[in-house]
Amino acid sequence: MKKISNKDDLKLCIDLIKKIDYGYNHELFLNHVPEILKGIFEDGATAYPLNLTTDFFKNLYVEYLLSFNPKFILDKNSENIIDKISQYATRNEIFIKESFSFDKGILLMGKVGCGKTLLFQCLVNLLRLFVGYNINSTKVEKLDANFIPAYSLVEMFSIKGYEMFGSELYFNNNRITLMSERLFIDDLGSENIVSNYGNTTNVTGELILRRYDKGRKTFATTNLDPKTLKSFYGDRVYSRMIEMFNFIVVDGEDRRC
Mean pLDDT by 10 residues, the chain (257 residues): 58 62 49 58 47 81 85 91 92 92 95 92 77 41 73 90 89 83 92 70 94 95 96 96 96 79
pLDDT at 4: 55
pLDDT at 158: 86
Does some domain include residue 49?
yes
Does some domain include residue 257?
no
Q: How many residues does the chain have?
A: 257
pLDDT at 253: 83
**Sign of the dihedral defined by the CA atoms of residues 65, 56, 22, 105, in that order:** negative
pLDDT at 44: 44
**Rounded to 5 degrees, what are φ and ψ at 195?**
-110, 135
Q: From residue 161, how far is each of 148, 149, 152 by CA, in Å?
A: 17, 17, 13
Does some domain include residue 1?
no
**What are the residues whose beta carbons fall under 8 Å from the beta carbon of 94, sequence distance 6 or more?**
54, 87
Into how many domains does the chain fold?
Answer: 1
**Residue range of the domain that includes 218:** 7-250
pLDDT at 46: 41
pLDDT at 252: 85
**Sign of the dihedral defined by the CA atoms of residues 43, 171, 145, 20, in that order:** positive
Does some domain include residue 47?
yes
Q: At what angle do helices 116-131 and 54-68 cross, to 10 degrees?
A: 110
Q: The domain that contains 107 carries what CATH number?
A: 3.40.50.300
Judge contact between 185 and 217, C-beta under 8 A: no
